[in-house]
């Protein structure tokens, strides 16, 4: 779960509120892109796809491994598998934009729209990735023939 | 090398011409867009008591103003037909008093502390002796335009703000001029703005300066000391009192300052004193006096003003001594009006013509004690005046379609609804009122109908007046299209020139880079996230400018962009580090980005800026709650740390330590003096600034100025000349890319060394100056900005070729803008720190305090620009001199640090100009978009200044060193 810490720090650096000031404070903070949701998705992906490394907890204090995780999210030989992960991060980033607008809608509250953004982009990434899988699969199939 | 190579001379000429084109375009646009007040010339005379002329506009020019004052006075009285209710007027202005303090808000009484602070005023309101209004002031809510609005009834142009510090005589038709023409004697005590507006008008005067913002006591005592004497005299008709203390209390401590309640008590006692004396004169039958207590504007929670929020525009208009009695407290306090309504009300009450450009509507409750026909007459006079103004503004409103004497069809006209174009509607509304009034006057109606006709006439007049007033105040002037179009075109042109220059430079650099990279055998062309992101930031900024909320909350965007940019840099760094290396350098470079991220996050949390969510907790509020001592401790710590950081950075300098030591000692002394100033004089903010403080501040200015200028001038002459590359081999920023034969001839090393020292002395000088000038709470952000700048320099010096140079320069610019908002600035004029602008100035000087105010507001962008000098030195290993003479070195060195800020700014300026043009009919154009435009213009000026300094420093150092090197070279060879 060290990975959670990294992502939480990332979110704080982008402006997520530190400490528990209650939801009111957090509500309209704009640049706090939450990576909470996206993080869990990331983690799931690490666990699901990244099979040649046992688990995230293995890394512990290994500086090099952490650097690689952060720098090369396209660590798997097939790049397209990471599309949903990238999508979630980018979606969370864009999801933060409506927060300062004065529309006074309930969903503008932190971290709702950020999470929606992450989720939406994640789904898009999923579909895209699925498409890649299918296309690749067919190509592979044809090659096999 | 390549065919597209652009010579240094041509580059310079092109950029300078682009700057000039931009300046011309900007000034054309500003003068075209911001309305110069639409004003009728001349002064209202007896003709204002006749209905507006039908045929030609103003052909009866025989003026009666040549009449001696007493005759004119009786003429006005005869013509108006309204008996004057009062003989004398006391006009008491309490600067910055929000009406909320006296009248409460939304039907609720004011806060208990304020209620108790003003017992007499509150009892007057409760007894129906006074009637108070929330008089909405028009932005900009600063003193001079508001005083003009109150005496002339006209709303000034937006650019009046810019001239607030440069008050000039009010030449337009106004109440005081009218009073003078009927022979009134006037006395003014208080803010000397009045004296500047009306020079030579007052019989007696005692002006106090609004200059020492920290003085809250003396400034009001100077007004009150004459009050007893003046009240006992009877040789004046108008007494103006302008108390500044309350505004100063607000500037120091905000609405909830501990000094607020005592100040209100003081004001209440003055009201009591005046009212008691009024009652005495009334009892001894020496005439009636009306006391009008007004405030020019309100204040925000933190005590600032200038913008258009409710808190700032909620000014007071309190009439004491009207003969009608208001029934209950609620109806005496729960009224709204406009600030401009004061002018026509007073004009009609005192029997002078309404000023020509007035757009206000008389406050009808103040006429309640008059007879019905007098009240209608007052409404009629107001309508005629507005109608004249309407006719002047709109040619569609010709007299032909106003048959104001045809009351035969009164019944039909009275019932038809008015619609159609605004002009037609206004005509129709006026006609309706006039017809009804005529039928009322003609006494055709029976006694039973009389009240009904009266009330419908009253309502009709009111409807016309309200509609006309609103239309006039909201009406944007006809913008000169040619001026605006040519302005925008010029800005676009200069923007294109800048962009093409940058593009050209980029292409050249990439060509050179390719040669080197092919030598080094590294791959070059791939998708760069950081470059895309920087372009994306500019795009996002342009798009976000179109939304009023995004303009109000712009700080969020900058912080978000800056921190995302750091993350992108972090990722890129992590990617580019050679796998498996656990070298010191790699961790160092990563940790520098972490420092950037962390300090950026603290800066972001320092001030909860913007407009809508300023009440949320932030670090500065938290520290201020901790008390003065805590703030001061933080300030001292950051002062010491800033000096340490600066000296540490200077200590990186490799050769000839003695120069650095001298420079360092100079700044140490200045820094210690700043700390002493902080210790001694910022101890208690309530103490009026003393001579000692001013002297010390002046000494600090002198030391900082001479140290910096001295460093800049002397360093290029003193820096040791390397004749071989041996001496510099231990420099941390050394590179081996330069062939040694060229190194001998070109002053590359020396330029690098001297620019490093000069750059740091610029940065240190600026930071120390800001530590002195900024509010105490802002000292820590200044330190953090300094740390950010230093870390960026370290990062850039490590990162070598990983980033394109323009990416790094724009990152510095973004850092500067994020810091701008971290220092508590926003896009409203209210956050400009006025108090700091008078530090170290002993006499009033618009220019000097303007410069100080500018440097306080643009502390951070300027710091980022000044750091470009260090950046040039840090990055100069990229400069690969092909030949010594062509100025190629100068071009490569100065090109990006100067062109990129200009380019980014020109994009933003041009885009925002177009946005402003598109938004000209937006509801918030004057309150949100126009102030932002002023900021954009000021940023442009800031960029010009910064870039000029950077370029001048670079060129000067280059020329001196080339000369020395040549000399030395020839001596060496002989």
Q: Which residue of B has its CA nearest to A101?
A: B549
Name the DSSP class of B338.
Answer: E
Give B945's pLDDT tier (boundaries 50, 70, 90): very high
Position B936 scores a pLDDT of 94
Given a cut of 70, is residue B876 above it in pLDDT?
A: no
pLDDT for residue B921: 66
pLDDT at B266 (0 to 100): 93
B140 preceded by a cis bond (ω within 30 of 0): yes
Q: Return the pLDDT at A77.
A: 46
Number of Cβ within 10 Å of residue B825's Cβ equals 24
> Does the beta-carbon distance from B579 to A64 stay under 8 Å?
yes
Q: What is the DSSP-derived secondary structure letter of residue B98?
A: B
Question: Please, which pLDDT band fits residue B943 given cuts at 50, 70 and 90?
Answer: very high
* CA–centroid distance for B457 within its chain: 44
Q: How many residues does chain A have?
A: 145
Q: Which residues of A touch B579 (CB under 8 A)?
A: 64, 68
pLDDT, residue B275, reads 93
Q: What is the DSSP string of B155-212?
A: PPPGGGGGGTTS-----S--HHHHHHHTT--EEEEEETHHHHHSTT--SEEEEE-S--
Burial of B492 (0-12, 13-18, 19+ CB in 10 A): middle
Q: B297 or B690, which is more confident?
A: B297
Pick from B620, B967, B955: which is nearest to B781 by CA? B620
How far off is chain A from B583, nearest CA to CA, in Å?
Answer: 11
The residues on A that touch B, with CB distances below 8 Å, are 10, 12-15, 18, 21, 24-25, 28, 30-31, 33, 63-64, 67-68, 70-72, 93, 96, 99-102
Cross-chain CB nearest to A13 (options B549, B580, B601) = B601
Q: Which of B774, B765, B820, B819 is nearest to B953 (CA)?
A: B765
Q: What is the DSSP letter of B64?
A: S
**pLDDT at residue A145 in the model:** 53
Which member of B549, B570, B597 has the closest CB to residue A102? B549
Q: Which residue of B has its CA nearest to A10?
A: B567
Residues of chain A contacting residue B604, judged by C-beta atoms under 8 Å apart: 15, 31
Cα–Cα separations (whole angstroms), residue A78 to A51, A81, A121, A133, A136: 13, 6, 19, 10, 10
Contact check, Cβ <8 Å, B575/A21? no
Q: Do A21 and B604 touch (CB under 8 A)?
A: no
Please tell me the least confidently modeled range out of B378-382, B546-550, B573-577. B573-577
Q: What are phi and psi of A113, to 5 degrees?
A: -70, -30
The winner for highest mean pLDDT among A51-55, A61-65, B44-48 is B44-48
Task: Out of B35-49, B448-462, B916-930, pick the least confident.
Answer: B35-49
Chain B neighbors of A10, CB-CB under 8 A: 567
Find the radius of gyration of the CA atoms of chain B.
33
Q: Above 90 in pLDDT, residue B274?
A: yes
A25, A64, A101 ranked by CB distance to B580: nearest? A64
Please give the residue of chain A at the shortest CA–CA distance from B604: A15
With cut-offs at 50, 70 and 90, classify the pLDDT of residue B263: very high
Between B40 and B239, where is the model more confident? B239
Q: Rounded CA gap, A35 and B717, in Å?
A: 54
* Chain A residues touching residue B814 (CB < 8 angstroms): none
Best-predicted range by mean pLDDT (B26-30, B169-173, B394-398, B784-788): B784-788
CA distance B3 to chain A (A): 39
How large is the ipTM?
A: 0.70
Alpha carbon separation from B707 to B198, B666, B693, B756 (Å, rounded): 45, 6, 21, 15
Alpha carbon distances (Å) from B892 to B240, B535, B874: 64, 22, 13
Reply yes or no on whether the pLDDT at B556 is more than 60: yes
Kindly report the pTM of this predicted structure: 0.70
Whether residue A19 is predicted with pLDDT greater than 80 in this model: the reply is no
Instruction: For residue B51, give every residue at least 6 positions away whose Cβ sits within 8 Å of its Cβ, in sequence order, or none.
Output: B384, B404
C-beta atoms of A28 and B613 within 8 A? yes
Asked whether the beta carbons of A49 and A24 are under 8 A apart, the reply is: no
Highest-pLDDT range among B82-86, B220-224, B779-783: B779-783
pLDDT band at A21 (very low <50, low <70, confident <90, very high): very low
Nearest CA in chain A to B603: A15
* Cβ-based interface (< 8 Å): residues of B facing A: 547, 549-550, 553, 556-557, 559-560, 563-564, 566-567, 570-571, 574-575, 577, 579-580, 582, 587, 590, 597-598, 600-601, 604-605, 610, 612-613, 616-617
Q: How many angstroms separate the first and last alpha carbons of chain B?
A: 33
Task: For A30, name the nearest residue in chain B, comparing CA atoms only.
Answer: B556
Q: CA-to-CA distance for B974 and B968, rounded, in angstroms?
A: 10
Question: What is the per-residue pLDDT for B905?
Answer: 95
Average pLDDT score, chain B:
81
Cα(B139)–Cα(B135) distance, integer angstroms: 13
Task: Concatenate the DSSP letters of all residues of B475-510 into one string.
Answer: PPPPP-HHHHHHHHHHHHHHHHHHHHHHHHHHHHHH
Q: How far is CA B180 from CA A132, B174, B201, B202, B236, in A?
A: 86, 10, 8, 9, 11
Which of B549, B598, B616 is facing A100, going by the closest CB pair? Answer: B549
Whether the Cβ atoms of residue B715 and residue B925 lie closer than 8 Å to each other: no
Beta carbons of A70 and B547 less than 8 Å apart: no
What residues in B contact A70, CB-CB < 8 Å? 570-571, 574
Q: pLDDT at position B678, please?
A: 86
Cβ contact (<8 Å) for A14 and B580? no
CB contact under 8 A, B612 and A28: yes
SS3 assignment, position B133? strand
Residue B345 has pLDDT above 70, yes or no: yes
Higher pLDDT, B759 or B32: B759
Q: How many CB atoms lie within 10 A of CB A123?
A: 14
Reported as a pLDDT band with limits 50, 70 and 90, residue B944 is very high
Residue A27 has pLDDT above 50, yes or no: no
Contacts of A26 in chain B (CB under 8 A): none
pLDDT at B491 over 90: yes
Residues of B with Cβ-Cβ distance to A71 under 8 angstroms: 571, 574-575, 577
CB pairs under 8 A between A and B: 69
CA atoms within 13 A on the CB side of B332: 24
Work out the mean pLDDT of chain A and round it to a whole number. 60
As a whole number of angstroms, the distance between CA B238 and CA B204 comes to 11
Q: What is the mean pLDDT of residues B783-812?
A: 86
Question: Percentage of chain B with pLDDT > 70?
Answer: 83
**Distances, alpha carbon B646 to alpha carbons B596, B650, B678, B762, B818, in Å:** 17, 6, 19, 10, 21
User: What does the alpha-carbon distance between residue B98 and residue B273 come to, in Å, rounded to a whole number?
Assistant: 22
Can you give B666-707 as a three-state secondary structure string? HHHHHHHHHHHHHHHHCCCCCCCCCHHHHHHHHHHHHHHHHH
Mean pLDDT across the stretch A107-116?
Answer: 72
Cβ contacts of A13 on chain B, cutoff 8 Å: 563, 566-567, 597-598, 600-601
The shortest CB-CB distance from B563 to any of A14, A28, A71 is to A14
3-state class (DSSP) for residue B320: strand
pLDDT at B262 over 80: yes
Q: Of residues B879 and B529, which shows the higher confidence score?
A: B529
pLDDT higher than threshold 70 for residue B395:
no
> Residues of B with CB below 8 A from A95's CB?
none
Question: Residue B137 has what DSSP assignment?
Answer: P
pLDDT value for B389: 84
Residue B622 CA to its chain's centroid (Å) = 26
Q: What is the pLDDT of residues B570-627, one digit of tens each?
A: 888 777 766 555 555 667 777 888 899 889 989 988 988 777 777 778 888 888 888 8
As a whole number, mean pLDDT of residues B554-562 equals 88
Q: Do A13 and B567 touch (CB under 8 A)?
A: yes
Q: What is the mean pLDDT of residues B689-708?
A: 86
The answer to whether the Cβ–Cβ distance between A100 and B616 falls below 8 Å is no
Per the CB < 8 A criterion, the answer to whether B600 and B781 are in contact is: no
DSSP of B759-797, one letter per residue?
Answer: HHHHHHHHHHHHHHHS-GGGHHHHHHHHHHHHHHHHHHH
- Report, as an integer, the average pLDDT of B266-277: 93
Q: What pLDDT does A33 receive?
A: 41
The minimum CA-CA distance between A14 and chain B, rounded to whole Å, is 5
Quick one: average pLDDT of B112-132? 89
Q: What is the pLDDT of residues B493-511, one digit of tens each?
A: 999 999 999 998 888 877 7
Mean local confidence (pLDDT), B37-47: 73
Calpha distance B339→B141 (Å, rounded): 11
Q: Give the pLDDT band (50/70/90) at residue B160.
A: low
Which DSSP symbol is given to B243? Answer: E
Cα dihedral B852/B856/B860/B862 (nearest 10)? -10
pLDDT for the residue numbered B57 = 47
Instruction: Quick: pLDDT tens for B197-254.
Output: 888 889 998 888 766 667 888 888 888 998 989 998 888 999 999 999 999 898 888 8
Among chain A residues, the shortest Cα distance to B569 is held by: A71
pLDDT of residue B922: 67
- Structure confidence at residue A30 (pLDDT): 36
- pLDDT greater at residue B944 or residue B530: B944
Burial A20-55 (b: 16+ CB within 10 A, else e): eeeeebbbbbbbbbbbbbbbebbbebbeeebeeeee
Lowest-confidence segment of A14-23, A100-109, B64-73, B577-586 by average pLDDT: A14-23
Grouping H, G, I as helix, E, B as strand and the rest as coil, residue A100 is coil
Residues B919-930: what's their mean pLDDT? 74
């Amino acid at each position: 779960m060290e990975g959670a810490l990294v992502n939480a720090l990332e979110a704080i650096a982008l402006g997520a509120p530190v400490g528990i000031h209650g939801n009111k404070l957090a509500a309209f903070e704009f640049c706090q892109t939450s990576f909470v949701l996206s993080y869990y998705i990331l983690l799931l992906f690490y666990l699901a796809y990244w099979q040649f490394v046992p688990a995230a907890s293995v890394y512990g204090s290994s500086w090099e491994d952490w650097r690689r995780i952060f720098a090369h999210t396209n660590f798997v030989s097939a790049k397209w598998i990471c599309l949903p992960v990238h999508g979630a991060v980018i979606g969370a980033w864009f999801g933060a934009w409506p927060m300062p607008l004065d529309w006074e809608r309930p969903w503008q509250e932190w971290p709702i729209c950020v999470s929606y953004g992450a989720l939406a982009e994640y789904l898009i990434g999923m579909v895209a990735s699925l498409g890649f899988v299918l296309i690749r699969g067919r190509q592979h199939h044809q090659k096999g023939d | 090398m390549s065919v597209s190579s652009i010579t240094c001379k041509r580059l310079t000429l092109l950029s300078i011409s682009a700057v000039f084109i931009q300046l011309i375009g900007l000034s054309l646009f500003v003068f075209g867009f911001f309305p110069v007040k639409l004003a009728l010339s001349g002064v209202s005379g007896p003709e204002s008591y006749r209905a507006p002329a039908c045929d030609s506009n103003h052909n009866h020019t025989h003026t009666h103003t040549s009449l001696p004052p007493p005759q004119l006075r009786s003429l006005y009285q005869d013509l108006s037909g309204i008996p004057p209710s009062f003989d004398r007027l006391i006009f008491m202005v309490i600067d910055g008093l929000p009406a909320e303090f006296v009248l409460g808000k939304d039907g609720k009484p004011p806060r208990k502390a304020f209620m108790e602070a003003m017992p007499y005023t509150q009892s007057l309101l409760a007894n129906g002796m006074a009637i108070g209004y929330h008089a909405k002031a028009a932005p900009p809510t600063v003193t001079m335009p508001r005083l003009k609005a109150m005496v002339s009834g006209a709303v000034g142009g937006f650019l009046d703000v810019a001239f607030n510090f440069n008050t000039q005589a009010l030449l337009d038709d106004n109440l005081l001029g009218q009073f003078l023409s009927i022979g009134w004697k006037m006395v003014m005590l208080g803010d000397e703005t009045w004296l500047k507006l009306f020079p030579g008008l007052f019989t007696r005067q005692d002006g106090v300066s609004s200059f020492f913002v920290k003085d809250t006591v003396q400034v009001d005592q100077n007004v009150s000391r004459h009050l007893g004497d003046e009240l006992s005299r009877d040789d004046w008709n108008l007494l103006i009192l302008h108390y500044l203390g309350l505004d100063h209390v607000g500037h120091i401590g905000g609405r909830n300052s501990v000094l607020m309640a005592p100040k209100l008590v003081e004001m209440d006692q003055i009201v009591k004193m005046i009212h008691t004396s009024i009652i005495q004169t009334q009892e001894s039958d020496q005439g009636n006096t009306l006391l009008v207590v007004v405030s020019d504007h309100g204040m925000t929670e933190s005590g600032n003003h200038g913008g258009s929020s409710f808190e700032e525009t909620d000014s007071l208009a309190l009439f004491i001594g009207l003969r009608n009695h208001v029934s209950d407290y609620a109806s005496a306090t729960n009224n709204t009006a406009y600030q401009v309504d004061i002018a026509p009300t007073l004009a009609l009450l005192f029997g002078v013509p309404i000023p020509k450009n007035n757009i206000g509507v008389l406050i009808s409750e103040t006429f309640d004690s008059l007879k019905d026909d007098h009240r209608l007459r007052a409404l009629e006079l107001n309508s005629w005046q507005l109608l004249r103004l309407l006719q002047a503004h709109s040619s569609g409103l010709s007299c032909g379609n106003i048959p104001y004497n045809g009351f035969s069809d009164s019944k039909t006209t009275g019932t038809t609804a008015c619609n159609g174009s605004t002009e037609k509607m206004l005509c129709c509304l006026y006609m309706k009122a006039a017809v009804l009034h005529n039928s009322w006057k003609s006494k055709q109606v029976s006694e039973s109908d009389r009240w009904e006709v009266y009330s419908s006439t009253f309502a009709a007049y009111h409807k016309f007046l309200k509609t006309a007033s609103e239309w006039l105040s909201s009406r944007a002037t006809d913008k000169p299209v040619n001026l605006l179009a040519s302005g925008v075109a010029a800005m676009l042109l200069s923007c294109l020139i800048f962009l093409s220059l940058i593009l050209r430079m980029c292409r050249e650099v990439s060509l050179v880079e390719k040669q080197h990279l092919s030598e080094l055998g590294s791959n070059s062309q791939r998708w760069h996230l950081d470059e895309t992101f920087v372009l994306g930031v500019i795009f996002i900024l342009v798009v976000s400018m179109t939304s009023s909320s995004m303009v109000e909350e712009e700080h969020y965007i900058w912080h978000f962009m800056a921190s995302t940019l750091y993350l992108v840099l972090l990722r890129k760094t992590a990617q580019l580090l050679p796998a498996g290396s656990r070298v010191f350098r790699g961790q160092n470079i990563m940790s520098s980005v972490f420092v950037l991220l962390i300090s950026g996050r603290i800066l972001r949390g320092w001030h909860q800026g913007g407009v809508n969510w300023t009440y949320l907790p932030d670090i500065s509020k938290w520290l201020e709650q901790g008390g003065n001592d805590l703030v001061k401790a933080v300030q001292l710590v950051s002062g010491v740390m800033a000096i340490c950081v600066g000296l540490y950075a200077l200590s990186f300098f490799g050769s000839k330590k003695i120069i650095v030591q001298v420079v360092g000692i100079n700044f140490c002394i200045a820094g210690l003096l700043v700390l002493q100033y902080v210790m001694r004089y910022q101890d208690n903010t309530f103490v009026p600034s003393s001579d000692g403080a001013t002297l010390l501040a002046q000494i600090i200015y002198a030391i900082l100025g001479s140290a910096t200028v001295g460093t800049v001038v002397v360093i290029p002459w003193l820096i040791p000349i390397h004749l071989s590359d041996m001496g510099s081999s231990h420099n941390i920023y050394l590179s081996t890319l330069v062939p040694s034969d060229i190194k001998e001839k070109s002053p590359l090393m020396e330029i690098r060394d001297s620019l490093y020292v000069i750059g740091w002395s610029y940065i240190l000088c600026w930071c120390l100056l800001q530590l002195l000038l900024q509010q105490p709470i802002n000292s820590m952000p200044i330190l953090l900005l300094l740390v950010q700048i230093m870390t960026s320099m370290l990062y850039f010096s490590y990162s070598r070729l990983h980033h394109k140079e323009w990416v790094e320069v724009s990152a510095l610019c973004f850092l500067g803008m994020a810091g701008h908002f971290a220092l508590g600035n926003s896009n409203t004029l209210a956050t400009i720190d006025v108090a700091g602008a008078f530090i170290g100035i002993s006499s009033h000087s618009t220019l000097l305090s303007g410069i100080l105010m500018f440097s306080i507001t643009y502390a951070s962008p300027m710091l980022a620009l000044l750091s470009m000098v260090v950046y040039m030195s840090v990055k100069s290993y990229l400069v690969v001199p092909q030949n010594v003479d062509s100025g190629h070195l100068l071009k490569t060195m100065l090109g990006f640090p100067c062109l990129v800020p200009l380019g980014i700014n020109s994009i933003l300026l041009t885009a925002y100009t177009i946005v402003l043009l598109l938004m000209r009919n937006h509801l918030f154009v004057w309150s949100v978009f126009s102030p932002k435009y002023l900021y954009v213009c000021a940023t442009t000026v800031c960029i010009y200044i910064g870039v000029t300094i950077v370029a001048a420093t670079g060129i000067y150092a280059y020329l001196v060193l080339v000369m020395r090197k040549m000399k030395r070279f020839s001596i060496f060879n002989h």
